[in-house]
Amino acid sequence: MIDPQLKPLQAKARQLGQAASSLASSLESRCHEFIRNTKHDMSGLGDSRRLRAAMALSRVSGDIVNACSEFLKSSSDTSVSNLETNITRLLRVASASYNESARAMASHYATERGWLRAEIEGLLRLNSQTSQFRTRTRDITSIHDQIQEHSTTLVEQLATIQDLENARTSLEKEIHQLVLNQGSLLEAIERIDSDSEIRALDAKEAELKVLRKRLLDEEMSRLGGVFARLLALNQRGEVHTHRQAIGVLTRYVKTPLTALAKEPDGYPELTDLLEGVCESIESNRIPLGEKKAKKTLERAKQIINGSLKPIQKEARSAFSARSQILRSPNPRNLRSRRSDLRAEYARSRASKESLESKIKSTLEEASLLGVQAKTHLDTIDELATKSFHKSIPRELREEILSLTRETSHQP
């Protein structure tokens, strides 16, 4: 929209750039020629003054060739400010090298020296024209450059927003597939749960779980910590306990209900162990503090007197019933299959949560980019309206804003 007002300025900028490139190319070509000539002139010279003159011309020509080469590499940038900067850099090198070598060249290379001076003066005039042009067009060029910069950033952000939208769509498809798979897994688990042998097995497992909780939370409360502490003291060598007692202690720490069920009636191994524990507490070899020691001794003596016999009987019955069910291969296979299905379902849920987290991050990033893109759009509109009396067409503005809103909805 603003191109018609900028075209004359852009044409002038291209003209200045082309003129600068032409001068630099001509200067580079002529200096290459000077370098070849001085190499020929220096071969076999006995005249020291002429040799110094040839070396000076070769040196200044080499410096200018390098500077021209660097200038021509950057000549594709038509920015007037950059053009002025590049010409100034070329002039700085050429002028400094020429001033350093001009006197040595004077006696033998007056023509070449005059040609170099004329070329440098031509670059100076072009640089002055470029500077004057940049000064006259500074404001409008600056506004144009700002619009261009905001436009470039806006296009990049819109492209990123579209990439994020594509990523979100892909993630949602993955989640949808996971949900379908989870439904199939739950159906398979429910079919196994409905099997009569599995129901009986689950009932016994639940019964054992209740017994285990009752054993730990009620009947053996206060003893678990003492057992763990005794094992730690023995491991560090601070107390010495018989190997057989350590074995019993370890079993009751790791699998207390199983250890109780496997003992003979009256659980003699646990009784012997507790009698030793009581002795250690009473002799303060296991310091617990008066109140805690009293409570622990009370609980230990209740167990020694047979308080665990009902649980031992119930646990044996439940373990026996469970073993009886598991003698059949069908419940064993179904239980194993259900365990695998549950593990797969847990992995699927974790994957779904991870994907949902990625979608959330994608939406947040897209939302932030959308706000930034709208800011760039508003800035472009304001700059164009203020400086060129042109505003962004409503249809284009709405189309751009619609792109910034595509990823703003929740999946």
What angle separates helix 329-388 from helix 196-214, to the nearest 10 degrees? 80
CA distances from 17 to 25, 78, 149, 279 (A): 12, 6, 21, 102
Q: What is the pLDDT of residue 411?
A: 43
CA distances from 126 to 28, 65, 88, 101, 115 (A): 17, 19, 10, 24, 17
What does the alpha-carbon distance between residue 313 and residue 211 come to, in Å, rounded to a whole number?
A: 11
Cβ contacts of 383 within 8 Å, gap of 6 or more: 143, 146, 147, 150
Q: Which amino acid is at 406?
A: E
Q: What is the pLDDT of residue 241?
A: 66
pTM of the model: 0.58
Task: Please provide the size of the chain in residues.
Answer: 411
What angle separates helix 290-304 from helix 268-282, to the nearest 10 degrees? 160
Q: What is the pLDDT of residue 272?
A: 92
Residue 387 phi/psi, 5-degree rounding, is -100, -30
Architecture of domain 3-136: Up-down Bundle (1.20)
| 39, burial (CB in 10 Å: exposed 0-12, middle 13-18, buried 19+) | exposed
Q: Which position has the token pair 């001009």?
A: 102
What does the alpha-carbon distance between residue 58 and residue 64 come to, in Å, rounded to a whole number?
A: 10
* DSSP secondary structure letter of residue 286: S
> What are the b/e assignments for 163-198, b being 16+ CB within 10 Å?
ebbebbeebeeebeebeeebeebeebbeebeebeeb
Q: Which helix (H) or strand (E) holds 187?
A: helix 138-193
Q: What is the pLDDT of residue 238?
A: 62
Q: What is the pLDDT of residue 410?
A: 47
Q: What is the pLDDT of residue 366?
A: 92
* Alpha carbon 381 to its chain's center: 35
What does the alpha-carbon distance between residue 121 and residue 209 come to, in Å, rounded to a whole number?
A: 99
Tell me which residues of the chain have a pLDDT lower than 50. 409-411
CA distances from 218 to 47, 223, 224, 259, 261 (A): 116, 10, 11, 17, 17
